Chains A and B, each alone.
Chain A
Amino acid sequence: MIRNIKIYFSFLGASLKRMIEYRVDCIIGMISQIAFQVIELIFIWIVFQNTDNIAGWTFEHLLLLYGVTMLSLAVTDVLFDSTYSIGYRLIRKGKFDTILLRPVHPLISILGESDTTTSLGYMVLSIILIISMLIKLQITITALLVFKILYLGILGGLIIGGIQTAFSIAGFWTYKSNEVVWSVFQLHKLAEYPIEIYNKFIKVLITLIFPFAFAAYYPTLEYLQLGKGNLIFIMSLIVIVEWIIVIKIWDWGLNKYRSTGN
């Protein structure tokens, strides 16, 4: 396990070196992502031109929720971007065979290839948004709070990344696996609003089945000092359990793939 993690970081280091080679791509990626975020924020602003709260949440609250979601998504993007196109990028081109021949779990190789440092800018933006909204809502910024924001942000990224990784096994059957991953990933949109507004089915869907709410809604409550229970503990547990299941699902997919051939 420790060996695998060490190798994972070596792979990430290699990806970083590669990104430096493509500085221009990197900067363009960053700019377009930020532009995309600004558009989303404008959309929220327009909604609040017509109403002053959604289920008791004000504009500031909603921007805070949006910032928290964005931080989790940025972490997901940086660490798990390479799970998108396993089918097209790796299996169709036969590159997956060489990954399977390495003396480490193939997920280490795949995740180690993630290279969207473009999302680093996006990460900084989300932290600024979170902190400034908290100040506006008159919440004292303590060292503990900053730690919570960072730690829960990483856990949120791991939660969404886990869901993405589990669905990436679609690549073992279809070259268009990115579309499968993309459609599941879109569920995060539901987590950008307070879950009070949803019916029971959607609540269960985004807390228990695909726990997107733990990457957005619940940390937001925690920062607003409205949380119940020890969220750091609960989310750590969710991440561990989720990833045990994800790896099981992934290995199952891999075994299916190896017995049918491609």
Chain B
Amino acid sequence: MALIEVKDLVKKYKISQKKHGVVGYIKHLIHPKYKEVTAVNNISFNIEEGELVGYIGENGAGKSTTIKMLTGLLTPTSGKIEVNGIVPNEKRIQNNKQIGAVFGQKTQLWWDLPVIESFKLIKKMYDLSDKEYEENLEKFTKILDLKDLLDKQVKNLSLGQKMRCEIAATFLHNPKVVYLDEPTIGLDILVKENIRKFIKDINKEQKTTIILTTHDLKDIEEVCDRIILIDKGNIIYDGEKENFKNEYGKHIIAEFIIENKSKNITLETSEEEFEVIEESENSIKIKFNHDKLTVMDVVKSVSNYCEILDMHIQEEGLEEILKEIYRGEIIND
């Protein structure tokens, strides 16, 4: 049995349709009209213990709604969720003991207390033994570099410092499952790297199952093994990250340093072969489908117009692939 089982999960919201103007507003008060919106439309997946899953999708795709149902914050309209044998929405408090969660910029720490006081309260809430607590505190302090932060009040911390403390607080009680909703939003690159490293380390050491939603796809590239992609409430991809790239990332970007250009390449080539992204007097950037053309084909065509001095080849990253998917350029069956 998988650690997290989700089957035929549906969440529908009722959205009230307010009309504009005073008359419309009064009409709404007397006879409100609602529109039903399906945020999550019949999704199913299983997650095994110790998996690191990136749960991605555009704004409004249904990510947060799913996470809220997994954590028991929201009751599903229909379908089944089990986390380690517990239905989160029915046994919320029991489920809370085995999970940890970070929700973007909402803090679980006590705003006007020193960080260490929050940690002590967490220790009490989760009935941690002194040994467990001391061990984790020492370890986290080291990896996340919290030493100078513990005695400061949360309100006096910078965003990055706060998030490091937040992450430590989330993992303090050795949760079986951790949901990280946008844990790196607004952070600088060093803090991001620090947090990514921490997540990977803990996952390896404790076999903590981690579900991560993020807009920074570098998080996914560096941390996750598996991707679940949701779009308009439906799962459109669920599998290994590498397969995802192989399946959808059919484009290659080639950048040429050139000279003695005879003609303008953009005007001379048809779009079906390859797409010129950028062109100047001494450089050109071309994107092409790797299934249809080889790199040599492209080099040959380009050399018809100019002399090639140097070139640089790059596979499409997750971000470009996702952009294409969202734009509907990659058709799904």
Contact = CB atoms under 8 A, between A and B. Distances in A.
A105 B93 contact: yes
Interface stretch (A5-13, A65-73, A141-149, A158-166): A5-13
A101 B121 contact: no
B307 interface: no
Contact of B113 (A18, A93, A103): A18
Contact of A100 (B14, B73, B125): B73
Interface in A83-117: 93-95, 97-98, 100-105
B113 A97 contact: no
B89 interface: yes
A17 B113 contact: yes
Given A14-B113, A18-B113, A100-B92, A258 B73 contact: yes
A7 B128 CA distance: 13
A253 to B, nearest CB: 13
A22 B124 CA distance: 25
Contacts of B71: 101
Interface in B68-86: 68, 71-75
A103 B97 contact: yes
B107 A261 contact: no
Interface in B49-101: 65, 68, 71-75, 89, 92-93, 96-97, 99, 101
B106 A94 contact: yes
B125 A103 contact: yes
- Grouping DSSP codes into helix (H, G, I), strand (E, B) and loop, the A interface class, with mixed when no group exceeds half, is helix
A21 B124 CA distance: 22
A259 B170 CA distance: 25
A17 B65 CA distance: 36
B75 A255 contact: yes
Contacts of B68: 97, 261
Contact of A103 (B73, B89, B93, B117): B93
Interface residues of B, number: 30
Contacts of A11: 121
B309 to A, nearest CB: 55
Nearest to A94: B106
Contacts of B97: 103
Nearest to A112: B121
Contact of B74 (A14, A21, A259): A259
Nearest to B39: A261
B237 interface: no
Contacts of A230: none
A49 interface: no
Contact of A94 (B13, B103, B113, B126): B103
B108 A258 contact: no
Interface in A1-57: 3, 6-7, 10-11, 14, 17-18, 21-22
User: A7, A94, A98, A260 — which one has the most chain B CB atoms within 10 A of its CB?
Assistant: A98
B73 A97 contact: yes
B96 A18 contact: no
Contact of B126 (A14, A95, A100, A103): A103
Given A101-B108, A260-B13, A14 B73 contact: no
A14 B117 contact: yes
B173 to A, nearest CB: 8
A260 B139 CA distance: 40
B121 A10 contact: yes
A98 B96 contact: no
Nearest to B98: A103
A14 B96 contact: no
B110 interface: yes
B112 interface: yes
B93 A104 contact: yes
Contacts of A255: 75
Contacts of B101: 101
Contacts of B99: 101
Contacts of A21: 112, 153
Interface in B111-140: 112-113, 117, 121, 124-127
A258 B125 contact: no
User: A14, A22, A93, A261 — which one has the most chain B CB atoms within 10 A of its CB?
Assistant: A261
A6 B71 CA distance: 25
A97 B103 contact: yes
Nearest to B114: A17
A259 B93 contact: no
A6 B106 contact: no
Given A104-B125, A260-B14, 9 more contacts: A3-B127, A7-B124, A102-B96, A103-B125, A105-B93, A258-B73, A258-B75, A260-B13, A261-B68
20 contacts: A3-B127, A6-B124, A7-B124, A10-B124, A14-B110, A17-B113, A17-B117, A18-B110, A22-B112, A97-B73, A97-B106, A101-B73, A102-B96, A102-B125, A103-B125, A104-B93, A105-B93, A258-B73, A258-B74, A260-B14
Interface of B: 13-14, 65, 68, 71-75, 89, 92-93, 96-97, 99, 101, 103, 106-108, 110, 112-113, 117, 121, 124-127, 153
Interface of A: 3, 6-7, 10-11, 14, 17-18, 21-22, 93-95, 97-98, 100-105, 255, 258-261
Q: Which 3 A-B pairs have the closest CB atoms?
A: A259-B75, A103-B96, A98-B108
